[in-house]
Structure 1
Amino acid sequence: MAGAIAANPLGNTPQMGFNTWNSFKANYDHDIIHDVASLMVSLGLKEAGYNYLLLDEGWSDMERTEEGSLQANRTSFPDGIKPLVNRVHGMGLKLGLYGDSGILTCGFRPGSWGYEERDAITLAEWGVDYWKYDNCGGFQAMTHTPQERFMTMQNALLRTGRDILYSVCEWGFQFPWHWGGNIGHSYRMSGDITASFTNETGCPCKTAYCLNTGYAGCSVTSILRKMREISVYQERSHWLDMDMLEVGVGNMTIYMQQTHFAFWAALKSPLIIGADPRELGGVSLEILKNRDIISLNQDPLGLPVHFIGSAGVEGFIQVWAGELEAGNVVMVFNEKSYPQDVSVSLKDLNLGIDHPVRARELWSGESWGKISSVETTLEAYQTLVFRLA
């Protein structure tokens, strides 16, 4: 059944939604989730395409039922999950839950190792739409490979007959871009993201091919650096997951937030908001709702941008480019904390462009007319995103 998910239209474009972890960790309840769902609608996030409300670690009880089934945290969700699912569905949203491929989850709640069939049936009976499957408890089942453990759950989900988006979360361990395309609709390619744009100290792996992937915190630019090596593995319905969005979290400048969002979108990562919707507003909210940037992520062609090393200056200017269903996209990123002049010829981008083409910069919305090169000054950490036609 390894190829069964590929035939399913679920996940044809990267998923979009909100996840509780960055804002609440495991400290949330029924009332908070209702508030979040209402805000996803009233803030225009649902209309922009963010339709999954994902309950990460913390929704489940510390023990299974006497019959061995998963159950909701009886204090935080006294009515259980099914009524919550029904309410979320009634608002036009979908609901996702979190589990683990080992004996325990990262928060020492019951994992699904040995309970895959039972847990998949429970999810389907509750009407759950999304299953984020972690690897923390995997350490207690390491006699079995990640491929085997995550495939076992995939097969269990498929046998329920319900469409459940399957998000594999094993932090790039054992290089899942070589095997994740047969298992999840998306799969994580790195350790957890932090709210740092650059200069993190907790991410031991600066490249994708590093054995010490772990779940240590990685900055936006660290994760982007890894994608330079592996964006070629991105494929429809099996998206490389760069982890949650930190837009609206921490102390990033406007240009940092724009750069973060633009690359997650153009590299076809799932767009999962991590900021607390109760505090989200202003520029950060507008960045997350930018339809031109979102359209790159949801483009029907499903192809990511790729790093064009020869077109930039290593350590100073990055240039990325790729195909869209109608036209191309070019991104020019200033890696430095000070303004820089840039000059990028479109002929050097492997797009087959040998004449001036119409260009529109998506953050400003301004037309640049017909151009054969990008000649401009970029502010600190700024990225210009051009749609070419």
Structure 2
Amino acid sequence: MASALVAILAIFPAQASIENPSILPTPPMGFNNWARFECGLNQSLFVETADAMVSKGLLAAGYDRIHLDDCWLQHERAPNGSLQWNTTLFPNGLIWLGECFKGKGFHFGIYEDSGNATCGGYPGSRGHEELDAKTFESWGVEYLKLDGCNVYPDNEQEYQTLYSKWHQVLTSLEHPLIFSESAPAYFSATDNNTDWYEVMDWVPLYGELARHSTDIAVYGLYPASHYWQSVMVNYGFEVLLARYQQPGYYNDPDFIIPDWPWLTLDEKKSHFALWSSFSAPLIISAYIPDLSDAEVEYLTNKDIIAVDQDALAMQATLVSQDGYFDVLTKSLANGDRLLTVLNRGNYTNSTTVSIERVGLETYHTYTVKDLWTGDSNKFSGSIHITLNTHATAIYRISEVSSVIPTGMIFNTASLSCMTASDTSITFTNCTALDAQVWQVSSSGTLSPLSAPNKCLESSAHGVSLGRCNSRSASMRWVYHVTGNLINSATRLCLQERAGYLGKCGEELDNQVFGLPSGVRVVRGGKV
């Protein structure tokens, strides 16, 4: 698949996000109607939304995009084959609406589908890609969300063909549209992740963001408890994909849903803090005119938005999980370190995070800023945190001199953590032990916090832990964008099965791993 991809990009001019990050240097922020209203969209809703985003300070905070989702179309194309907007829903037309948005300071985005029909049953773009792209351009559209319903045959190769066609067409426009791809969502949550990862391999080459998994739960259709669960499901998919993200391309865990009455304020704030820690798109789906002061306050938190919009675009990764607390961290462009802690438990609880787990030097004093309160304090050694159920703390740590990528190494299929023993490793349930928190040196050695002088190495029996020697190729590991962790001496891949080392396969479930943010990722080609 990789060789075919290289051939495609050799023929057509490269203008995908990772090759030209200036197309979308930071994750998009704005509004989309779908999760809140689904097909209940019309001209008045969008005009009211735009006015409310201005008056409530959302535009000033950076939410400068307004996107129409499915069901804006007529059921038939025009005689010349072009798409038509529903004149009952949009009496002044989409050109007028786009100009209205731009007059208020917003960018205009729209929805279409790569298949024969949209998810709502309206005309799809298949066979009309060039005409539809030029139509959108003529209407003043600047952003395209391309869904993946009604694609036949529904295999990975067919999706790549359709999305690569759109990449080529958008690249040829005078003003290329930002391209939001939904293809990965159609391959997630299966018994085998290989096709999902195959799709994830090419979406960063075609567009600026990709909706990688299930839709966030739409308004009012589910029992109350389902909505927090939906946030956690999409969060769970996001943490598997950090290796793909880089400036110009963003993993998209779907919409921010601030006015859902079935979420507590702590849960809503957690949703926002976690997505911002991921440098994920912040696209709100809500009835903006009725947002409460408390909801607007957290959505416009400048310090947390700055984390989301950080120039490194690094996705926070897991330091540890124990069933109650998830601890995540990443580096920021000015050298600061982010610490985010989620209480997944159903009760108020406390935890302590040592400075070593954040990837920082011991015996040093740092300044830590609570991004919810704005309060700053000096600390060294560890941070003690108490959180309400489903609440999230988010801190920015400054006066950092050096960082070593630190956190879990876990299999993305089984979710088992690599756990150090005296002389080797096992894969076990994640329980936040020091033996499950790994430091990854710049030379590629892997050391557990429980035994920092020992490094993982290839051996006659697979892998073992020995005294660290960064000059030994058997102790150096290379992390590939496919998720493979490759030993430099043997060129074999780490795997979660007997021997823990084997011939590298095509993104096999037992060979795909998540590593800490900041680890060098090798991109391009296959292992």
Task: Flag whether TM exceeds 0.5 (same fold).
Answer: yes
Find the counterpart in structure 2 of residue 194 from structure 1.
217
Find the counterpart in structure 1 of residue 239 from structure 2.
228
Pick from 325, 329, 344: which aligns with 1:317?
325
Question: Aligned to 2:48, what secondary structure does the other structure show?
Answer: helix
Pick from 339, 355, 370: which aligns with 1:330?
339
Pick from 4, 10, 21: which aligns with 2:15?
4
CA distance in structure 2 between the aligned counterparts of 1:57 and 1:361, rounded to whole angstroms: 39
Change over 3 Å in CA distance of 1:141–1:332 after alignment to 2: closer
Whether 1:385 aligns to 2:373 is no
Equivalent AA in structure 1 for residue 269 of structure 2: Q
Pick from 86, 96, 100: which aligns with 2:109?
96
Find the counterpart in structure 1 of residue 30 from structure 2.
17
Deviation sequence 1:200-259 (CA, Å, 0-9, x none): 49xxxxxxxxxxxxxxx9711112222232222211111100000122223211211111
Find the counterpart in structure 1 of residue 208 from structure 2.
185
Change over 3 Å in CA distance of 1:92–1:352 after alignment to 2: same
- Ranges in structure 2 where 5+ consecutive residues have no aligned partner: 1-11, 188-195, 399-527
CA distance in structure 2 between the aligned counterparts of 1:101 and 1:82, rounded to whole angstroms: 23
Equivalent AA in structure 2 for residue 191 of structure 1: T
CA distance in structure 2 between the aligned counterparts of 1:45 and 1:223, rounded to whole angstroms: 24
Per the TM alignment, residue 31 of structure 1 is displaced from its structure 2 partner at its CA by 1.7
Equivalent AA in structure 1 for residue 394 of structure 2: V
Per the TM alignment, residue 348 of structure 1 is displaced from its structure 2 partner at its CA by 1.8
Question: Aligned to 1:65, what secondary structure does the other structure show?
Answer: coil
Q: Which moved more, 1:152-161 or 1:111-120?
A: 152-161
Change over 3 Å in CA distance of 1:339–1:143 after alignment to 2: closer
Whether 1:120 aligns to 2:133 is yes
Pick from 64, 69, 76: which aligns with 2:82?
69
**Would the aligned equivalents of 2:119 and 2:149 in 1 still touch at CA under 8 Å?**
yes
**Would the aligned equivalents of 2:74 and 2:84 in 1 still touch at CA under 8 Å?**
yes
**Would the aligned equivalents of 1:361 and 1:385 in 2 still touch at CA under 8 Å?**
yes
Matches within 5 A, 1:336-375: 336-352=345-361, 355-375=364-384
Change over 3 Å in CA distance of 1:251–1:143 after alignment to 2: closer
Question: Aligned to 1:219, what secondary structure does the other structure show?
Answer: helix
Change over 3 Å in CA distance of 1:235–1:378 after alignment to 2: same
Per the TM alignment, residue 197 of structure 1 is displaced from its structure 2 partner at its CA by 11
CA distance in structure 2 between the aligned counterparts of 1:226 and 1:374, rounded to whole angstroms: 28
CA distance in structure 2 between the aligned counterparts of 1:260 and 1:270, rounded to whole angstroms: 12
Find the counterpart in structure 2 of residue 52 from structure 1.
65
CA distance in structure 1 between the aligned counterparts of 2:156 and 2:365, rounded to whole angstroms: 57
**Would the aligned equivalents of 1:102 and 1:140 in 2 still touch at CA under 8 Å?**
no
Change over 3 Å in CA distance of 1:292–1:172 after alignment to 2: farther
Equivalent AA in structure 1 for residue 140 of structure 2: G
Question: Aligned to 1:244, what secondary structure does the other structure show?
Answer: coil
Per the TM alignment, residue 352 of structure 1 is displaced from its structure 2 partner at its CA by 4.9
**Would the aligned equivalents of 2:247 and 2:311 in 1 still touch at CA under 8 Å?**
no
Equivalent AA in structure 1 for residue 162 of structure 2: R
Find the counterpart in structure 2 of residue 43 from structure 1.
56
CA distance in structure 2 between the aligned counterparts of 1:8 and 1:143, rounded to whole angstroms: 26
Equivalent AA in structure 2 for residue 368 of structure 1: N
Find the counterpart in structure 1 of residue 293 from structure 2.
282
Deviation sequence 1:236-292 (CA, Å, 0-9, x none): 111100000122223211211111101101101100001111221221111111111
Equivalent AA in structure 2 for residue 178 of structure 1: D
Equivalent AA in structure 1 for residue 313 of structure 2: G
CA distance in structure 2 between the aligned counterparts of 1:156 and 1:108, rounded to whole angstroms: 24
Greater RCO structure (CA 8 Å; 6+ sep): 1
Per the TM alignment, residue 376 of structure 1 is displaced from its structure 2 partner at its CA by 2.8
Equivalent AA in structure 2 for residue 177 of structure 1: M
Q: Count residues with an aligned counterpart.
A: 371
Change over 3 Å in CA distance of 1:332–1:120 after alignment to 2: same
Matches within 5 A, 1:234-313: 234-309=245-320, 313=321
Question: Aligned to 1:360, what secondary structure does the other structure show?
Answer: strand
CA distance in structure 2 between the aligned counterparts of 1:153 and 1:138, rounded to whole angstroms: 14
Deviation sequence 1:46-87 (CA, Å, 0-9, x none): 100001100001211111101100111121113321111111
Find the counterpart in structure 2 of residue 210 from structure 1.
none
Identity %: 30
**Would the aligned equivalents of 1:103 and 1:141 in 2 still touch at CA under 8 Å?**
no
Per the TM alignment, residue 105 of structure 1 is displaced from its structure 2 partner at its CA by 0.2
Pick from 70, 82, 106: which aligns with 2:95?
82
Q: Which moved more, 1:132-141 or 1:322-331?
A: 132-141
CA distance in structure 1 between the aligned counterparts of 2:383 and 2:145, rounded to whole angstroms: 41
CA distance in structure 2 between the aligned counterparts of 1:331 and 1:186, rounded to whole angstroms: 23
TM-score (norm 1): 0.90
Question: Aligned to 1:278, what secondary structure does the other structure show?
Answer: helix
Per the TM alignment, residue 163 of structure 1 is displaced from its structure 2 partner at its CA by 3.3
Find the counterpart in structure 2 of residue 32 from structure 1.
45
Deviation sequence 1:302-344 (CA, Å, 0-9, x none): 11111112xxx52111110000012110011111010112111
Equivalent AA in structure 1 for residue 339 of structure 2: V
Per the TM alignment, residue 177 of structure 1 is displaced from its structure 2 partner at its CA by 2.6
CA distance in structure 1 between the aligned counterparts of 2:200 and 2:246, rounded to whole angstroms: 10
CA distance in structure 2 between the aligned counterparts of 1:200 and 1:2, rounded to whole angstroms: 44
Per the TM alignment, residue 8 of structure 1 is displaced from its structure 2 partner at its CA by 5.2
CA distance in structure 1 between the aligned counterparts of 2:362 and 2:225, rounded to whole angstroms: 36
Q: Which moved more, 1:375-384 or 1:61-70?
A: 375-384
Change over 3 Å in CA distance of 1:228–1:141 after alignment to 2: closer
Question: Aligned to 2:337, what secondary structure does the other structure show?
Answer: strand
**Would the aligned equivalents of 1:328 and 1:388 in 2 still touch at CA under 8 Å?**
yes
Whether 1:137 aligns to 2:119 is no
Find the counterpart in structure 2 of residue 208 from structure 1.
none
CA distance in structure 1 between the aligned counterparts of 2:380 and 2:263, rounded to whole angstroms: 31
Equivalent AA in structure 1 for residue 200 of structure 2: W
Question: Aligned to 1:9, what secondary structure does the other structure show?
Answer: helix
Find the counterpart in structure 2 of residue 212 from structure 1.
none
- Ranges in structure 1 where 5+ consecutive residues have no aligned partner: 202-216
Find the counterpart in structure 2 of residue 155 from structure 1.
168
**Would the aligned equivalents of 2:34 and 2:70 in 1 still touch at CA under 8 Å?**
yes
Question: Aligned to 1:348, what secondary structure does the other structure show?
Answer: helix
**Would the aligned equivalents of 1:338 and 1:379 in 2 still touch at CA under 8 Å?**
yes
TM-score (norm 2): 0.67
